[in-house]
């Protein structure tokens, strides 16, 4: 009887031990599952962060000013102010002759131009004819058209001044000029950032205007410019004294705002930190950290967001050294734990 009882007792104890072990195993499995779920959630968040960063980069690259979009009558190119005047070719920032606006057309054998400044005489306006090419893959455009001052030595220029609307890193491309109607005349064209000459096109005549696809395009870095700085687009008759009517000119300005550029860079740095430190953070905080993502704080500043399980607190979190000097936000986020099914459950 004792043996039987002992046997039964032993059997019961063994069964209980087995249940406890199963429960312990279940807890360990739950912890491991929670860790894996947190990592998976973190990966999903990482993918979303990457999309967000890519979206920000697209926004950065999208601030462009196409010359053919100029609103000549209202002196605007996008949200930037423009001004057209005549100046000495050696001092393009000094207005030598102010210009008036003419809404009508200038039509003659070698020109079909309207919306002009400085006419009659030299002018800067818009061609009435569409271009034969497609600058950026959106169809033909109506390029700017001009006639430089007709002095015999090319000492006078016609100038389009572009006012920088906000601080940023500026570049220039699709820059070109050509005599649209042929002929024997030449022009010189130049671009200045503030008072420094950045690009010069010398003795241009029957040139090919650049497009994004024709292999003629070059990118010129203009550097950091502040709000209120000027870009000057100038043209003169290259000193040959020949009438250069209906000379087409084209350009595209790209601006990367400094604040946005810095924001995207910081988001990218935090994303890299998260990728390097995720395994370490979860391993050192198995019961407290529920998520690890990149976000922005209430001031729209890039930040690391660490989710803390309600059963824990931020004071117990062990942060990797590299996270101690960055913007970290803590938020209560329950860990995802799958409850294991019992043996008799389907």
For the chain, domains (ranges, CATH) are 33-61+285-339 (no CATH), 63-257 (2.60.120)
Q: How high is the pLDDT of residue 19?
A: 46
Percent of the chain whose pLDDT exceeds 70? 75
Separation CA 183–CA 237 (nearest Å):
13
What is the mean predicted confidence (pLDDT) over 24-43? 53
At 298, give phi and psi (nearest 5°).
-65, -20
Task: Tell me the angle at which helices 2-61 and 258-284 cross, rounded to the nearest 10 degrees.
Answer: 170
Please tell me the pTM assigned to this model: 0.64
Are 142 and 130 within 8 A, CB to CB?
Answer: yes
- What is the average pLDDT value for the chain, to the nearest integer? 81
Q: Which band of pLDDT confidence, cut at 50, 70 and 90, is reported for residue 58? A: very low
Does the pLDDT of residue 176 top 60, yes or no?
yes
CA distances from 113 to 122, 162, 174 (A): 12, 21, 21
Quote the CA–CA distance of 87 and 23 in Å, as a whole number: 88
Q: What integer pLDDT is reported at residue 342 of this predicted model? A: 58
Instruction: Categorize the per-residue pLDDT at 344 as very low, low, confident or very high, splitting at 50, 70 and 90.
Output: low
Answer yes or no: is pLDDT of 119 > 70: yes
pLDDT digits (tens, 9 = 90+) for 271-282: 999 999 999 999
Calculate the CA 7 to chain-centre distance. 77
Structural tokens at position 250: 């084209």
Cα separation, 283 vs 2, whole angstroms: 50
Question: In this model, does residue 156 exceed pLDDT 90?
Answer: yes
Residue 291: in which H helix or E strand, if any? strand 289-296
Alpha carbons 323 and 120: distance in angstroms, whole number: 66
What per-residue confidence (pLDDT) applies to 91?
A: 95
pLDDT band of residue 264 (cuts 50, 70, 90) is confident
Q: Give kind and range of the element (H or E) at residue 307.
A: strand 302-308
120 against 9, higher pLDDT: 120
pLDDT at 22: 46
Q: Which residues contact 9 (CB under 8 A, 6 or more apart)?
A: none
Tokens representing 325 are 């000097």
- Find residue 199's DSSP bridge partners: 191
Asked if residue 289 lies in contact with residue 307, where contact means CB atoms within 8 angstroms, the answer is: yes
pLDDT of residue 240: 73
């Amino acid at each position: 009887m004792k043996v039987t009882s002992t046997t039964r007792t032993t059997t019961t104890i063994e069964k209980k031990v087995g249940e406890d072990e199963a429960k312990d195993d279940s807890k360990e499995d739950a912890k491991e599952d929670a860790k894996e779920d947190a990592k998976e959630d973190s990966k999903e968040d990482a993918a979303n962060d990457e999309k967000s960063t890519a979206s920000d980069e697209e926004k950065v690259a999208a601030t462009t000013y196409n010359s053919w979009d100029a609103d000549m009558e209202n002196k605007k190119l996008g949200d930037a102010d423009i001004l057209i005047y005549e100046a000495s070719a050696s001092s393009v920032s000094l207005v030598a002759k102010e210009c008036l606006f003419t809404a009508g057309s200038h039509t003659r054998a070698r020109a079909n131009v309207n919306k002009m400044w400085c006419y009659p005489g030299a002018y800067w306006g818009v061609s009435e004819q569409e271009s034969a090419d497609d600058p950026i893959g959106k169809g033909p455009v109506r390029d700017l058209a001009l006639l430089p001052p007709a002095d015999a030595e090319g000492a006078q220029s016609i100038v389009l001044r572009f006012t920088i609307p906000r601080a940023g890193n500026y570049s220039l491309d699709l820059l070109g000029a050509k005599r649209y109607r042929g002929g024997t005349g030449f022009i010189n064209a130049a671009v200045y950032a503030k008072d420094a000459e950045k690009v010069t096109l010398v003795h241009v005549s029957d040139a090919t205007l650049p497009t994004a696809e024709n292999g003629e395009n070059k990118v010129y870095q203009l550097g950091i410019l502040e709000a209120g700085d000027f870009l000057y687009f100038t043209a003169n008759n290259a000193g040959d004294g020949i009438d250069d009517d209906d000379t087409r000119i084209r350009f595209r300005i790209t601006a990367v705002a400094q604040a946005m550029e810095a924001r995207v860079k910081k988001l990218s740095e935090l994303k890299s930190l998260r990728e390097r430190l995720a395994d370490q953070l979860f391993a050192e905080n198995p019961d407290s950290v529920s998520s690890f993502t990149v976000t922005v704080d209430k001031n729209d500043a890039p930040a690391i967001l660490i989710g803390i399980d309600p059963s824990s607190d931020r004071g117990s979190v062990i942060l990797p050294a590299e996270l101690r000097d960055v913007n970290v936000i803590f938020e209560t986020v329950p860990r995802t734990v799958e409850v294991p099914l019992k043996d008799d459950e389907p």
